[in-house]
Amino acid sequence: MSRNKTPTVSLSGHQSMPMIGLGTGDFQSSGETVKTAVIEAIKVGYRHFDTASVYGTENALGEAIEEVLRLGLIGSRDELFITTKLWFTDCHSERVVPALQKSLGLLKLEYLDLYLIHLPVSSKSESIGIYPSKDNIEPLDVKGVWAAMEECKKLGLAKSIGVSNFPVKTLESLLSAATIPPCLNQVEMNPTCQQKELREYCKERGILITAYSPLGAPGTRWGNNRILDNEILIDIAKSHGKSVAQVALRWLYEQGVSFIAKSYNKERMKQNLEIFDWSLTEHDLEKISQIKQIRLNQENPLFEYVA
């Protein structure tokens, strides 16, 4: 499928974001694997890529972008939509611009399309992993950190700014402090985590939702097969001659939500783009709304803070 067939959504009224992004949230694969996957993804039509400083994949994504430009697979960097995220060790006002400059250095880019605050908290110490202890977590200085995010946009380092994992409560403080409101909130969303209340709140305020773990992150330390093995989704998939993954992704699309699907497998990458020429029925939607809701990653101490 060509890029032109992937619908886009308008961000901040001036930017066009493809509704499907390829995720690189991967703590296992080598840089070479990530680079190869991104190049393959561009060949099959992806133009939107999502990374984060904590993933350690910014460098590989940057190398892939250099390579596709060198090979002429795309005409210019402007054809891509690139997102990265500020890790919570850098969620202190004076560290935000330097953290973005470091990410841009690894990505080998002049600007980002979208910069997100990764989590609605800060950390006390600089070097902690993705599963920090409770003692290391402290409240986010919403006003100071968001002012620094606005500075990133004013400096032209990020075209749009937003947040990730923000619950309603933190969004409320942010909106009362912001001069430039966040354009987007990237959160866990899938048929087993439908985020109804948060979606309603964001919709009323013009904040887009992007779903991460749209398939429940099977094969990762924090994910599981609950979506791919769900009986309701399996039945719906059979009735349409589609895969369960396609049903889960189509459901997100029909909710008006963009999503970051991660696959490094060329066939599955293609399959995940093929969700636009068919639709779910009212009956399917009703059945999906009855699926039991269970969050991922509940053992992580960060869980109590995130949307």
Q: What type of residue is 220?
A: T
Task: Please name the residue ranges forming H helices in 45-92.
Answer: 58-71
Q: Which of 42, 121, 261, 302 binds ligand A2P (CB under 6 A)?
A: 261
- Least Å distance between CB 296 and ligand A2P? 9
Closer residue to ligand A2P, CB minimum distance, 140 or 237: 237
Q: Which of 16, 125, 265, 281 binds ligand A2P (CB under 6 A)?
A: 265
Query: Any contact of residue 38 with ligand A2P (CB under 6 A)?
Result: no
- HEC profile of 212-270: ECCCCCCCCCCCCCCCCCCHHHHHHHHHHCCCHHHHHHHHHHHCCCEEEECCCCHHHHH
Q: Among 98-106, 107-115, 161-169, 213-221, which window interacts with ligand A2P (CB under 6 A)?
A: 213-221
- Least Å distance between CB 265 and ligand A2P? 4
- Sequence length of the chain is 307
- Least Å distance between CB 254 and ligand A2P? 17
- Give catalytic status of residue 264 as yes or no: no
Q: Which runs of E-coded beta strand occur in the chain?
A: 8-11, 15-18, 20-23, 48-50, 81-86, 112-117, 121-123, 137-139, 158-164, 184-188, 208-212, 258-261
Closer residue to ligand A2P, CB minimum distance, 147 or 234: 234
Query: Any contact of residue 89 with ligand A2P (CB under 6 A)?
Result: no
Phi, then psi, of 83 in degrees rounded to 5: -115, 135
**Count of other CB atoms within 10 angstroms of residue 266:** 14
Q: What does the alpha-carbon distance between residue 248 and residue 250 come to, in Å, rounded to a whole number?
A: 6
- Least Å distance between CB 92 and ligand A2P? 29
Q: What type of residue is 76?
A: S
Selecting among 46, 55, 115, 253, the annotated active-site residue is 55
Query: Any contact of residue 272 with ligand A2P (CB under 6 A)?
Result: yes
Q: Among 58-66, 173-181, 232-240, 264-272, which window interacts with ligand A2P (CB under 6 A)?
A: 264-272
Q: Residue 25 in 3-state DSSP?
A: coil
Q: Which of 21, 62, 132, 214 binds ligand A2P (CB under 6 A)?
A: 214
Q: What type of residue is 133?
A: S
Q: Which of 56, 144, 218, 301 binds ligand A2P (CB under 6 A)?
A: 218
Residues binding ligand A2P (CB under 6 A):
23, 213-219, 243, 245, 261-265, 268, 271-272
Which residues are catalytic, by number?
55
